[in-house]
Every structure is written in C-alpha cells, then in structure tokens.
C-alpha cells in the first residue's frame, strides 16, 4: 500500500517521464478513478488534450502533475494505484494491469494510471499547479522543508485521542499509513492505544523521529512492496519489505526481545506489535 516513501518514488519517476511532454490523447477506461471530476470522464479527457506537463509534486500521499496552464492533475494512489510509463509497443495488455486512464504523450510514450481496487483517483484541480485547493487541509509531511516538528508535537499532545490514530491523522502530519505507523510505534516501544495527552514531550519527539527515520530508510530502498500492488513507474518493486520490524510479522519473534508478535484489530484494520516491548497502557 503506497505511503509517503512509495509515493515519493513514483513522483521522482514521473518528473523524469512526463516533464515537458504534451498530452495528445486521453482515454478514460473506467469512470470510477475520475469520480471526483464532477463534470464527468469526457470533460476530464477533453480538458487535458494539448496541455503540457511541467513536473510532479507531492504533499503526504497526494501527488499532482502541474500543467503549463496553471491547472494540475491531482492524483491519489489509494490502496493499489500505480502510474506506469511505457512504450506502446512493449506495454503489457491493458486488461492485465487494470489500466483505468491512459494518456498519450508527445514523443510516443504512454502514461497509464492503473488501479486494481480503485480506491485511488485522478481529478483536475483548477489553478492547482502550485498547491491544489483539494489538498490544502493535508498537513505538511516530515520531508517537507517547512515541516514544523515543534508544532506537530504541541498539537499531538493537545489531542484527545490515541497515538496511532494521531499518526494516521493526515491533518496533523501527513504521509503515514498503517505500515509505517506500526514500524514507528515498534521503534519507540509504544502501544498504539496510548493516549496522546499522556505522552511525555520527549517521547513524542522520539516517536516522530522514528517516523521520519523509517520512512527515509524505506525511501532509500525504493519503498516497500506487497503483492506487487506497489511499483515504481517502470513496474519495479522496492526492497524495504525485508526491513520491516512490525508490520506483517504476526507470530514471528520480536527482533528486540524474541516474544511472538501479535496482531490486534484497530478501527477496521490491524495493528501488529510486540506484547512485551509495547505494553498495553493501563485504562483510565
């Protein structure tokens, strides 16, 4: 599932692949990924033909492709979204890759938005080249030059919620999903149910430091991959899966203490933790 490191890998690939290319053809093969473009799939396609890409930007897990008109194509990969860049002659058949939207580019290459589970999507953001209005509510991520760690710690400790919910709150700090939340909690030896307002200031700084570190390490390895659902624009997987200490390790020994890792339900998803290093907080 693409989180910040995976989305950043895709962004870097897109900068190389689409910058200065002109859209000469758009095919919307399934309406769902453009559901947020209220004027409909045909309008989505018509508006983009003739536009020139000027780069690729990101905030948290949102990506956007600024256009020379000042508008942007805003994208979210959701659970299983991928961007692929191919030569038309060598690309795999459309139906084998769940291609939902295809862009013909000047120079002959094809940019495809593929999405098996269709939680992701594309939309046109008018005037959104700099920062789409649709992502204005998303907090800066830990790799953003203007990310304000002190402010995140202050806001986190003021919230009346639990630590894991706070990490996943994209309006507090963006880019973190279930995988890297579990990894950072394991490194910080914290249980996800710990109340944020009982967290010592130094512990909050430590936790957010682990968040940044684990995502930086994942990015350096090209991201994490599961079930080939996440790949870069060339269809290649990252290598960080072997670096995970918590996520997906239910029943395996904790790499710190050897106790078997456990998996628990958490808000319609799951959390994996060490029952010894990450003790459940006392209630009340």
Partner DNA sequence: GTATGTACCTGTTTGC
Partner DNA sequence: TGCAAACAGGTACATA
With binding defined as CB under 7 A, does residue 267 bind DNA? Answer: yes
- In 106-253, where does DSSP find H-type helix? 149-158, 163-168, 178-188, 201-220
Backbone region of residue 174 per phi and psi (left: phi > 0; alpha: psi in -120 to 50; beta: other values): beta
Write down the least CB distance from residue 250 to DNA, Å. 9
CA distance linking residue 162 with residue 175, whole number of Å: 18
Binding mask 64-93 for DNA (x = CB under 7 A): ------------x-xx--------------
Of 22 and 195, which has the nearer Cβ to DNA?
Answer: 195
Any known ligand binding at 117? Answer: yes
Size of the site for DNA (CB under 7 A): 33
**For the chain, percent helix, then strand, then coil, each to nearest 5?**
30, 20, 50
Q: Are 34 and 120 in contact (CB under 8 A)?
A: no
Instruction: Compare residues 161 and 234 and give the one whose CB is closer to DNA.
Output: 161
178 near DNA, rule: CB under 7 A:
yes
Q: How far apart are CA 216 and CA 221, in angstroms?
A: 9
Nearer to DNA, 81 or 104 (CB): 81
- From 25, 259, 269, 280, active-site residue: 269
Verify binding: residue 57, DNA, rule CB under 7 A: no
Spot the catalytic one: 61, 102, 123, 273. 61
Residue 203 a catalytic site member: no
Q: Does 101 bind DNA (CB under 7 A)?
A: no
Query: Looking at 2, 66, 132, 142, which residue is catalytic?
Result: 2
Q: Which of 117, 154, 279, 280 binds DNA (CB under 7 A)?
A: 117
Those residues with Cβ within 8 angstroms of residue 186's Cβ, 6 or more apart along the chain or in another chain: 245, 246, 273, 274, 277, 278
Q: What residues are designated binding site for DNA?
A: 98, 117, 159
């Amino acid at each position: 599932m693409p989180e910040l490191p995976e989305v950043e890998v895709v962004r870097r690939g897109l900068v190389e692949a689409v910058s200065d290319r002109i859209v000469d053809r758009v095919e919307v093969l399934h309406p769902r990924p453009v559901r947020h473009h209220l004027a409909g799939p045909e309008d989505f396609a018509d508006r983009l033909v003739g536009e020139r890409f000027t780069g690729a930007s990101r905030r948290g897990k949102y990506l956007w492709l600024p256009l020379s008109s000042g508008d942007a194509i805003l994208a979210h990969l959701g659970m299983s979204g991928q961007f692929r860049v191919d030569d038309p002659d060598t690309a795999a058949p459309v139906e084998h890759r769940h291609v939902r939207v295809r862009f013909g580019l000047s120079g002959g290459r094809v940019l495809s938005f593929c999405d098996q589970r269709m939680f992701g999507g594309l939309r046109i953001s008018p005037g959104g080249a700099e920062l789409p209005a649709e992502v204005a509510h998303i907090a800066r991520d830990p790799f953003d030059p203007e990310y304000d760690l002190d402010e995140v710690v202050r806001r986190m400790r003021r919230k009346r919620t639990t630590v894991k919910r706070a990490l996943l709150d994209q309006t507090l700090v963006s880019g973190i999903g279930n995988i890297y939340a579990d990894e950072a909690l394991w490194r910080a030896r914290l249980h996800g149910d710990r109340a944020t307002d009982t967290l010592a200031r130094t512990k909050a700084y430590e936790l957010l430091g682990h968040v940044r570190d684990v995502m930086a390490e994942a990015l350096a390895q090209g991201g994490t991959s599961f079930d080939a659902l996440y790949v870069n624009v060339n269809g290649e997987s990252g290598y960080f899966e072997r670096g995970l200490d918590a996520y997906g390790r239910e029943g395996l020994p904790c790499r710190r203490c050897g106790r078997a890792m456990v998996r628990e339900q958490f808000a319609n998803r799951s959390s994996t933790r060490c029952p010894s290093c990450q003790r459940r907080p006392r209630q009340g």
